[in-house]
Amino acid sequence: MMHFRNLKIEQIKTTWFKKSISILFVCIVFQNCAPTRFVKPLAKKENAIAANLGGPLIHFGKAVTPIPFTSIMYGRGLTNSTTAFGSVHLTALLFGNIQTDLGVCQQLYKNDSLKFGITINPAINMVYDKWNKNFRAWPQLDANVYKDILKQKAFVYVGLTNWFEFSSTRAHGEPQTNHALINPHVGMSYNTKKWGYTFECKFLQMNKKNVPNVVDYVGINQHGAVGVYLNFVRRF
């Protein structure tokens, strides 16, 4: 019997293995691929198209970069306080998945003298993959409080983006313990007569530990991921 005592061990810690394959699943966070669709509703019969870019920040090598999710959206003011919208997620489309979110922005409260308001965006997110014909749908509810600034040319807002998973099981019949993904966000929007430019920062999946995970998210206290988004809107 051999004895292997007093070993001299040289260990070179490597994280490359993990990081290299992290690329594989950087796109798995579909629910993080877009900013709040509408913080303020459009005027009645007003239309808008929007394009956005951005996603959760990840460590990539020595750099920090957002996953570049993109989507396009169309919205129409049904009334002065209700706007309907629908979107197509372009990044998902690249993978052969048709993803859309359909919903409405509803003004719940508005105070003209204090120049602030409260809105909610109930929506349904649907994804269909053409490869295995898998279909999934997740309800979403965004809630925002905004405050007009710069003589109403801009507004700042804070809110929550909430995704809900109603399935009681996950892969291989294991229990799904996480049923609500709560993402707080802050943002600022600057608007001209026809155009709107929005920057939003989200704290994604704040109730979920981000280690261990296949993706090296930039989170806070080992939870969630910080996401940044740019949104461009053209109204007509």
User: Which residues sit at the interface with another protein, rule CB under 8 A?
Assistant: 1-5, 7-12, 14, 16-18, 20-21, 23-25, 27-31, 88, 92-98, 127, 129-132, 134, 136, 138, 163, 165, 167, 169-172, 174, 176, 178, 181, 205, 208, 211-215
Q: Which is nearer to another protein, 111 or 168 (CB)?
A: 168
Closest CA to 84 of 69, 70, 100: 100
Please identify, using beta-carbon distances, which residue of 63 and 171 lies nearer to another protein. 171
Give the integer Cα–Cα distance in Å for 38 and 142.
9
Contact 228, 217 (CB under 8 A): no
Looking at the Cβ atoms of 74 and 232, the one nearer to another protein is 74
Q: How far apart are CA 32 and CA 181, in angstroms?
A: 10
For another protein, the closer of residues 30 and 146 by Cβ is 30
* CA 54 – CA 60 distance, rounded (Å): 15
User: By three-state DSSP, how is residue 139 classified?
Assistant: strand
DSSP 215: S
Q: How far is the CB of 70 from another protein (least distance, A)?
A: 13
User: What does the block give as tokens for 208?
Assistant: 């979920």
User: Smallest distance, Å, CB 132 to another protein?
Assistant: 4
Minimum CB distance to another protein, residue 155 (Å):
30
Least Å from the CB of residue 112 to another protein: 37
Output the smallest distance, CB 23 to another protein, in A: 5
> Based on CB atoms, which residue is closest to another protein, 21 or 43?
21
Cβ proximity to another protein: between 30 and 85 the closer is: 30
3-state secondary structure 19-67: HHHHHHHCCCCHHHCCCCCCCCCCCCCCEEEEEEEEEEEEEECCEEEEC
Classify residue 40 as exposed, middle or buried by CB count within 10 Å of its CB (0-12, 13-18, 19+). buried
CA distances from 215 to 57, 101, 200 (A): 10, 24, 22
Q: Cβ of residue 115: shortest distance to another protein, in angstroms?
A: 36
Output the smallest distance, CB 192 to another protein, in A.
Answer: 29
Q: Both ends of the chain: CA-CA distance in Å? A: 83
Cβ proximity to another protein: between 26 and 39 the closer is 26
